Structure 1
Amino acid sequence: MSKSISIFDTTLRDGTQGEGISLSADDKLKIARKLDDLGVHYIEGGIPGSNMKDIEFFKRVKDLHLNAKITAFGSTRRKNSQADQDDNLQRILAAGVPAATLVGKSWDFHVHTALQTSLEENLAMIGDSIAYLKSKGLEVIFDAEHFFDGYKNNPEYAAAVMSRAREAGADWLVMCDTNGGTLPHEIRDIISSLTLHLPGAPLGIHTHNDCELAVANALSAIEAGARQVQGTINGYGERCGNANLCSIIPTLQLKMGYSCIPGDSLPQLTNTARYVSEVANVNMPVNQPYVGSAAFAHKGGIHVSAILRDSRTYEHIAPELVGNKQRVLVSELAGQSNVLSKAQDMGLNLDPSSEQARKVIDKIKDLEHQGYQFEGADASLELLLREATGEMNELFTFESFKMLVEKSAGKPVVSEAFVKLKVGGETLYTAGEGNGPVNALDNALRKALLAHFPQLKDMHLSDYKVRVLDEKDQTAAKVRVLIESKNFSDTWSTVGVSANVIEASWEALVDSMRYALLGQMSPEVTDLLDLGQRGLVNH
């Protein structure tokens, strides 16, 4: 039995059918290059002629000279027509691709209801279309739509569909769980039966995630004899999504002994997943297996104590194998091991037996009780630990700020902030306008600090989230603000908590700038700076 699995990526076609996902031609080209670097075998680019983006993609992708086979998607010829006269098949040929995916009906219910034609005509549509594209030199992947539902309803006809596709010369016979309702044991049993009917047939699997089983079903299919697996990066796709290649590839390669992509490419998996997420402008679930930021994150003190001795105690693989990394979270559940691990990562000297270590742990737990959450705010945590160990030189001292928000009839709201700071013994008083209070505060604070710290011009706020902590208090409720900031080389998050959303935002905003300046000041400038307070709330 061959242990090599062909990886067919349909992020650029099936993945874009997911709600909220829209990719431009440039986006598709960027992702295609990234997928090629990862080492997938097929990249399904879209439907030729269906829209201007796909037309542009197929035209420009040739210039990338990728190793992966670029594949165009289309359906079999129309009923009661000729393949060589079919517009859809002509558009596939015009795309100039080496391979085509043809979808055809394998469920007799769909043949009668959706196509409204006879079972024999459907077989002719499949055979004619595949044979025509093969005669033009294309590799043909036949996607049997609703195959498993069709097999359960009429196994003889579903098998006949595959037989006709194979006779016509299809290079791959792909079984699709289009509605995502089949269970793993059904997948295994049906494929096992099909392989008896079509021994040696080149089978593939295409699953959807409507029962949260797309990955399990794909793996079950591989075990039963499929040798191509179709899916998308991060599981993007319509309804509940497609099979997630970011879970399938490492499971096959690291746990089941199959070869999917080059071994030296596997550590690119996490970066690829996050890159596609950024281009698609979709937040990745933190708990996504293998590639999520929480996939190897540890919170409970007992767990952390164990992984510091041997990571195998609570990690099923070494995260570096897929390009991820181990993270230790600090929260109200934190034990001494968590804090010591974080301090060690930051290069801080924190004696585990010291009163200093006990105090910082107690402080973190008290702050979490107040509503702070440092799991997603590593920058605020690092500032707090540096303060506790005496390794934090404050660069500016907060004195006060004022806010003015004005709304006139028929005019947009105008926000203006006035900030008073002390930097290096000099008192600064600046004003800034913005399209909201936080934007105004950000502009005023930057105006005060840029003359002293020009590197702040390279950072910007990339995300801003507000969470109500105690809903029963309604408009008087305490809120937690999380701010994500970026510069050319790094991304970091900071947190603030208050019953006043502007105060919470200010605290997170100040922390973001304090973190941006860590390690960037010359000793001469640092010596001039006063040892100040953290901001409105002193941790």
Structure 2
Amino acid sequence: MDTTLRDGEQTSGVSFSAAEKLHIAQLLLTELKVDRIEVASARVSQGEFEAVKKITEWAEQNNAIDRVEVLTFVDGGTSVDWMQKAGAKVMNLLTKGSLNHLQFQLKKTPEQHFSEIAATISLAISKGIKVNVYLEDWSNGMRNSKEYVYQFLDFLTIQPIQRILLPDTLGVLNPAESFEFIADLIQRYPKSHFDFHAHNDYDLGTANALEAVGAGVHGLHVTVNGMGERAGNAPLASVIACLKDFYKDIETSVVEESLFSVSKLVETFSGFRIPVNKPVVGENVFTQTAGIHADGDKKNNLYFNDLMPERFGRIRKYALGKMSGKANIENNLAALGIHLSDEELKKVTQRIIELGDKKEVVTQDDLPYIISDVLDSNSIEEKVQIINYVLTHSKELRPSVTLKISIDGNLFEEHAQGDGQYDAFMKALEIIFKNNGKSLPQLKDYAVRIPPGGDTDALCETIITWNNGVKEFITRGLDSDQTVSAIKATQKMLNLI
């Protein structure tokens, strides 16, 4: 069960719009093919209500309404009414899974709590709503008040509910405890369906989820990119990859090839950036840096494991920098369709190592320029050169640019205004290219960074992602002026296309 749209949205600073929630819900159920999704908490806001209504209307039309779940509360029927109005048919009722929470937060006896839960379950079922029950703080309950948990589960096993949901609410469990506690409950209550809901406070979410599976748990709760409160939840991609590779007798419906694309979409909608080293979906996880590894890949795939990038709709890359060896560079050159002699390759390798020592980022797109510079060759020429430009920015006047460029030796000059200096530059460029019957690729992403603690004169790196209608590619520019670094990145793009 994916809870990106409920628990994942509790990530600090994240709030999906109703349209974004609907789109993510559709992708989770139809493209990724998770079994169930938890899409909201009842009673939170009018916006949340509208989002759930959109999702349930779509789910009804697509025979998926029983796969859409909502977190609800023991609140005298208010949540049930909310569910009915929103069109939801499955509720995940939040209850107290530890004596500590029951006594100090609700200030009630177990008998009082159970009675109110029974009334809520009965009301929901009378309205045609299926019920699952969360035991909030269950992990601490098993540690510190196990008899209360048993008493609670004895009560739940005679209730007309579908699933019992066991959350490690504060992310405190270790793998051994996860196995021990769940195996205990599976043995005690063999007819009950248990789901495990792992949090990642100790970076053990995936490990705990796997131990839960080993103990016989019937369901797992995950989120895209591990989103969630504090350190987040068990990440969907990592859990699916581990289940496939380490539990050969376990099958899931999740489509591995869609994990990366859905991950990137959720990253865009949430603004919650994926760490570059995050397993399966991180930008760097299928990138070899060390030259010896690249060499081994060419010799019977010595540095491959079962996590092949193609499984996830991705490709293997070979980083360029001071750790690069000849094999790394050969792999990148092959991708560009460039062949060099041994002597030429040696010179290019040395230059890349020198750049890496200066901590400069070297990409595959930079290789033609490095080759041209090192070999003093015209085989890869700069057909487009930005000859000159004047950038202006004045108070209460629109930024403007006067631009002169050379294309295949022909000079062109244009003036334009824009919302910023770089926007004005791009508008002038577009006019020149349009007048020449050409079009520019679409700018998809624009990122700027300087070294940590950098002063006002620090080098500024601008990284721009373009899409030419066939594929996305990235160019980088480096300068002490942000706009100039963007212009340098743009000139690289112009020559690549």
Q: TM-score, normalised by structure 2?
A: 0.91
Partner residue of 2:70?
73
Partner residue of 1:399?
387
Structure 2 unaligned spans of 5+: none
SS of the counterpart of 1:311?
coil
Q: Are the structure 2 counterparts of residues 405 and 63 from structure 1 closer, same or farther at C-alpha, using a change threshold of 3 Å?
A: closer
Residue 320 (structure 2) aligned to one of 321, 330, 339: 330
Q: Distance in 1 between matches of 2:426 and 2:370?
A: 22
Letter of the structure 1 residue corresponding to residue 292 of structure 2: I
Q: Distance in 1 between matches of 2:409 and 2:235?
A: 56
Letter of the structure 2 residue corresponding to residue 280 of structure 1: S
SS of the counterpart of 1:69?
helix
In the TM superposition, residue 160 of structure 1 has moved relative to its aligned partner by: 1.6
1:99 aligns with 2:86: no
Q: Please say if residues 205 and 233 of structure 2, whose CA atoms lie closer than 8 Å, have aligned partners that are also in contact.
A: yes
Residue 18 (structure 2) aligned to one of 19, 25, 30: 25
Q: Distance in 2 between matches of 1:383 and 1:326?
A: 23
Partner residue of 1:504?
485
Once the two structures are superposed, residues 358-410 of structure 1 have per-residue CA deviations (whole angstroms, 9 ceiling, x without a partner) of 22222222333444302xx4433455458868653433233222333334xxx
Residue 379 (structure 1) aligned to one of 365, 369, 373: 365
Percent identity between the aligned chains?
24
Q: Distance in 2 between matches of 1:426 and 1:467?
A: 35
1:363 aligns with 2:351: yes
Q: Are the structure 2 counterparts of residues 273 and 160 from structure 1 closer, same or farther at C-alpha, using a change threshold of 3 Å?
A: same
Q: Distance in 2 between matches of 1:130 and 1:496?
A: 61
Residue 124 (structure 1) aligned to one of 98, 115, 126: 115
Q: Distance in 1 between matches of 2:365 and 2:437?
A: 19
Q: Distance in 2 between matches of 1:311 and 1:131?
A: 59
Once the two structures are superposed, residues 495-523 of structure 1 have per-residue CA deviations (whole angstroms, 9 ceiling, x without a partner) of 222344443332112112322x2xxxxxx
Q: Are the structure 2 counterparts of residues 465 and 69 from structure 1 closer, same or farther at C-alpha, using a change threshold of 3 Å?
A: farther
Q: Distance in 1 between matches of 2:141 and 2:168?
A: 10
Letter of the structure 1 residue corresponding to residue 332 of structure 2: K
In the TM superposition, residue 467 of structure 1 has moved relative to its aligned partner by: 1.4
459-468 vs 11-20, which moves further: 459-468
Partner residue of 2:222?
231
Letter of the structure 1 residue corresponding to residue 266 of structure 2: V
1:241 aligns with 2:222: no
Which structure's relative contact order is higher, taking Cα pairs within 8 Å and 6+ residues apart?
A: 1
Once the two structures are superposed, residues 422-452 of structure 1 have per-residue CA deviations (whole angstroms, 9 ceiling, x without a partner) of 2244322223333443333333333333322
**Superposition pairs of residues 418-497 of structure 1, within 5 angstroms:** 418-452=402-436, 454-456=438-440, 458-460=441-443, 462-468=445-451, 471=454, 474-497=455-478
Q: Are the structure 2 counterparts of residues 201 and 135 from structure 1 closer, same or farther at C-alpha, using a change threshold of 3 Å?
A: same
Residue 300 (structure 2) aligned to one of 310, 335, 340: 310
Q: Please say if residues 401 and 425 of structure 2, whose CA atoms lie closer than 8 Å, have aligned partners that are also in contact.
A: yes
Partner residue of 2:46?
52
Q: Are the structure 2 counterparts of residues 319 and 464 from structure 1 closer, same or farther at C-alpha, using a change threshold of 3 Å?
A: closer
1:273 aligns with 2:270: no
Letter of the structure 2 residue corresponding to residue 416 of structure 1: S
321-330 vs 230-239, which moves further: 321-330
SS of the counterpart of 2:278?
coil
Letter of the structure 2 residue corresponding to residue 21 of structure 1: V
Partner residue of 2:202?
211
Partner residue of 1:523?
none
Letter of the structure 2 residue corresponding to residue 122 of structure 1: H
1:15 aligns with 2:36: no
How many residues are paired up? 491
Partner residue of 2:399?
415
Q: Please say if residues 400 and 421 of structure 1, whose CA atoms lie closer than 8 Å, have aligned partners that are also in contact.
A: yes
Once the two structures are superposed, residues 468-517 of structure 1 have per-residue CA deviations (whole angstroms, 9 ceiling, x without a partner) of 3783xx333333332223344432221222344443332112112322x2
Q: Distance in 1 between matches of 2:244 and 2:251?
A: 6
Q: Distance in 2 between matches of 1:385 and 1:255?
A: 44
Q: Distance in 2 between matches of 1:69 and 1:385?
A: 59
Q: Distance in 1 between matches of 2:92 and 2:202?
A: 25
Q: Please say if residues 106 and 158 of structure 1, whose CA atoms lie closer than 8 Å, have aligned partners that are also in contact.
A: yes
Letter of the structure 1 residue corresponding to residue 382 of structure 2: E
Residue 336 (structure 2) aligned to one of 332, 339, 346: 346
Q: Please say if residues 433 and 439 of structure 2, whose CA atoms lie closer than 8 Å, have aligned partners that are also in contact.
A: no
- For the aligned residue pairs, the C-alpha RMSD in angstroms reads 2.5
92-101 vs 333-342, which moves further: 92-101
Q: Are the structure 2 counterparts of residues 9 and 283 from structure 1 closer, same or farther at C-alpha, using a change threshold of 3 Å?
A: same
Q: Are the structure 2 counterparts of residues 415 and 18 from structure 1 closer, same or farther at C-alpha, using a change threshold of 3 Å?
A: same
Residue 39 (structure 1) aligned to one of 33, 44, 50: 33
SS of the counterpart of 2:315?
coil
Q: Distance in 2 between matches of 1:116 and 1:385?
A: 73
Q: Distance in 2 between matches of 1:499 and 1:95?
A: 54
Q: Are the structure 2 counterparts of residues 132 and 386 from structure 1 closer, same or farther at C-alpha, using a change threshold of 3 Å?
A: farther
Q: Please say if residues 252 and 258 of structure 1, whose CA atoms lie closer than 8 Å, have aligned partners that are also in contact.
A: no
Structure 1 unaligned spans of 5+: 1-7, 518-539
Letter of the structure 2 residue corresponding to residue 45 of structure 1: V
Letter of the structure 2 residue corresponding to residue 72 of structure 1: E
